[in-house]
Amino acid sequence: MHRICIAGRPNVGKSTLFNRLYGKRSAITDSMPGVTRDAISGTVSLGDLTLEVIDTGGIGEGEAQLEQAVCSISRNEIRRADLVLLLVDVTDLTGEDEELIEYVRRCDRPVILVVNKVDNEQRVQDVSEFWRFGLERVVSISAAHGLGMDDLEDAVLEVL
């Protein structure tokens, strides 16, 4: 089973994307116990593949004392992943995003830069800003509205 990790700073839409992927094609419910209680995972079928999709972050986001712990859990998940979906918000690119992009690059894991909240034409134009990181795969979506999901799924299948 392939491990797909949804990573990104708080509020970029990780849980919204997870719910959209999981809600549509969930096979069995599977929550992870113990130290990974901050990550939520679910089994998703895509094409002929079965994927373990992990929503890093989970509870505690935004609470200062938990942030460090959540961050290290996310980094563990990134290192263990067969594919990282690195989520960013098209309306708000921050230093934290750039750090995560650098981190994933250093981990040498396959990565798709997923630009979320691309809800309208103006925001489609703004996606080009994200090409400057030089990542091979950039896909724009609106997790909230379900836009771009076919492109994202195609990109996932291409990598795995």
- Partner from Mg ion, ligand GDP, none contacting 119, C-beta within 5 to 8 A by type: ligand GDP
Q: Which is nearer to ligand GDP, 14 or 109 (CB)?
A: 14
- Is 8 annotated to bind ligand? yes
3-state secondary structure of 27: strand
- Beta-strand (E) ranges in 1-126? 2-7, 26-29, 40-46, 49-55, 83-89, 111-116
Q: Can you tell me which of 5, 7, 15, 44 binds Mg ion, judged by CB under 5 A?
A: 15
- Partner from ligand GDP, Mg ion, none contacting 12, C-beta within 5 to 8 A by type: ligand GDP
Smallest distance from Mg ion to CB 40, Å: 8
Q: Which candidate, 86, 90, 75, 79, places its Cα nearest to that of 111?
A: 86
Partner residues linked to 52 by β-bridges:
3, 43
Smallest distance from ligand GDP to CB 20, Å: 9
- Partner from Mg ion, ligand GDP, none contacting 8, C-beta within 5 to 8 A by type: ligand GDP
Residue type, 100: L
Smallest distance from ligand GDP to CB 48, Å: 28
3-state secondary structure of 39: coil
Binding footprint of ligand GDP on the chain (CB under 6 A): 8, 10-16, 57, 61, 116-117, 119, 142-145
- Is 59 annotated to bind ligand? yes
Report the alpha-carbon distance of residue 158 to residue 153 in Å, rounded: 9
How many other CB atoms are there within 10 angstroms of residue 73's CB atom?
21
3-state secondary structure of 121: helix
Residues contributing to the annotated binding site: 8-15, 55-59, 116-119
Residues contributing to the annotated binding site for GTP: 8-15, 55-59, 116-119
